[in-house]
Amino acid sequence: MNVIQNIAATLDTLRRSDWQHEASQDALDQLVKNYLPSGSGIDSGCSIDLDKQKPGRIVIHCEFHHMDEGGYYDGWTQHSIIVTPCFGHWPDIRVTGRNRNDIKEYLGDLFYHFLDRPIQRSWDKATQSWSFTGC
């Protein structure tokens, strides 16, 4: 499975299962921290909007820290990355927010590559938690 499939499976378990709620929340936190973009302009990391996600849609929030021609930081833009399934191929990625310096196309490509990376998920019976390995 790739990153987005693991996120979708974890969100599905989080939504449907009371007994695995804490383990699923921890797994989601791991996926966000270890497998979504952080740094290189996305200096505040990413978050998944649990209130706006639903079956068939995942909403990821990030902010981008822009630089001017002199290499100095000169402001932020806020973005939502909305991932929805498409039959027969890779899910659709839509980036919302201000398109300063054509950043939306860059973010769409960046998230495509991060979300398509293969990772393995395994259940650790001893710790009653999920772990992920891969890129």
**For residues 48 and 51, what is the distance between their CA atoms, to the nearest angstrom?**
9
Map residue 100 onto helix, strand or coil: helix
- State the helix-helix crossing angle for 3-16 and 103-115, rounded to 10 degrees: 80
Q: Is the pLDDT of residue 90 over 80?
A: no
Residue 110 is predicted with a pLDDT of 96
What is the total count of domains within the chain?
Answer: 1
Q: What average pLDDT does this structure show over 14-32?
A: 87
H or E segment to which residue 59 belongs: strand 58-67
Q: Output 49 or 129, whichever has higher pLDDT.
A: 49
Rounded average pLDDT over 78-98:
89
C-alpha–C-alpha distance, residues 43 and 48, integer Å: 16
Q: Is 127 a member of any domain?
A: no
Q: What is the pLDDT of residue 135?
A: 64
Answer whether residue 16 shows pLDDT above 90. no
The verdict on residue 71 lying in a domain is: yes
Residue scoring higher pLDDT (44 or 90)? 44
For residues 53-74, average pLDDT? 92
Residue 132 falls inside a structural domain: no
Flag whether pLDDT at 19 surpasses 80. no
Range(s) of the domain holding residue 44: 3-121
Question: How high does pLDDT run on average in the chain?
Answer: 91
**Weakest-pLDDT range from 15-29, 53-67, 71-85, 118-132:** 15-29
Residues in the chain: 135
Instruction: Provide, rounded to the nearest whole percent, the portion of the chain with pLDDT above 70.
Output: 97
Q: Is residue 94 part of a domain?
A: yes
pLDDT at residue 88 greater than cutoff 70: no
Residue 33 lies in a domain: yes
* pLDDT value of residue 21: 81
Residue 11 covered by a domain: yes
User: 109 lies in a domain?
Assistant: yes
Residue 41 belongs to a domain: yes
